[in-house]
Amino acid sequence: MRKFGWGLCFLILFTSCENKKSKIDPFAAITHMVDSVTQDTDSIAPQVQEDKTPKPIEADESFDDFIFNYASNDVLQRQRTKFPLPYYNGDTPTKIDEKYWKHDYLFSKQNFYTLLFDNEKDMDLAGDTSLKSVQVEWLFLRTRMVKKYYFEKIKGAWMLQAINLRPIEKGENESFAEFYLKFATDSVFQSKRIANPLRFVTIDPDDEFSILETTLGIEQWYAFRPPMPTDRLSNVNYGQQNKDSSNTKILKINGIENGYSNIFYFRRKEGQWELYKYEDTSI
């Protein structure tokens, strides 16, 4: 069973746009529209609805297993996409007919994927088999847009219900997306935004079953640091908040079938983001 923590190249985090700071879920409108679509489906005659309901497969038990199958299998992808598919470019709604659908590989063509959390507790949501709604996201750092895929579990089978593309929300404080892009691409800026010393967690080179916790100086960081994503970050939203107002962020990079695993811990200190902890537990 594949664990959705794929990782390698470190995530290039979120992008931001010109929307005003708000405590309201920026996707509330799209969520409402998706709910409306679901309600419309429920109004269809029971016999017709039953005929079109996909049968659950073993991969549906875990969303992580399902999404890999969905991304790599064209037949399954068409069966598990609700056509005509609601597609929202900002607040402008359109629909995609099945005949115009092009296979979406999501992150399956990469050798890693990234996940974003506000705190360590939320990391436990990955792999939860009781989930009924999950969103897969692309965070385009340079254009500061987010593309969000809405999946719902219907009668035991995961289905893509809608896609939404919109600007990334920007708050009053330093945006994490803007910070991360500069952090990943500018080594001079990076050196100024790393806690000194930097907490470092890795596998003990003398005992692969033990974890070694130590610290790194700036010079040592440049010797150990891994490559980091700079164009876009993927994210699977299992229910974590990922609020712009949060003062902590965790970027997890999981390798896909290669044992790679890196985690970056960031915090906002005196209004500015910094990396204060780094974990490399690659096998």
Q: Could you list the pLDDT tens digit for every one of the 283 residues in the chain?
A: 444 433 333 333 333 333 433 333 433 444 444 444 444 434 333 433 445 679 999 999 999 999 999 999 999 999 999 999 999 999 999 999 999 999 999 999 999 999 999 999 999 999 899 999 999 999 999 999 999 999 999 999 999 999 999 999 877 788 999 999 999 999 999 999 999 999 999 999 888 889 999 999 999 999 989 999 999 999 999 999 888 889 999 999 999 988 899 999 999 999 999 999 999 999 8
pLDDT of residue 51: 53
pLDDT of residue 206: 85
Query: What is the 3-class SS of the chain, one letter each residue?
Result: CCCCCCCCCCCCCCCCCCCCCCCCCCCHHHHHHHHHHHHHHHCCCHHHHHHHCCCCCHHHHCHHHHHHHHHHCHHHHHHCECCCEEEEECCEEEEECHHHCCCCCCCCCCCEEEEEECCCHHHHHCCCCCCCEEEEEEEECCCCEEEEEEEEEECCEEEEEEEEEEECCCCCCCCHHHHHHHHHHCHHHHHHCEEEEEEEEEEECCEEEEEEEEEECHHHHHHHCCCCCCCEEEEEECCCCCCCCCCEEEEEEEECCCCCEEEEEEEEECCEEEEEEEEECCC
Tokens, residue 51: 């005929």
Kindly report whether the global pTM for this prediction surpasses the value 0.85.
Answer: no
pLDDT of residue 240: 94
CA distance 42 to 184: 46
Structural domains for the chain: 28-109+129-167 (3.10.450)
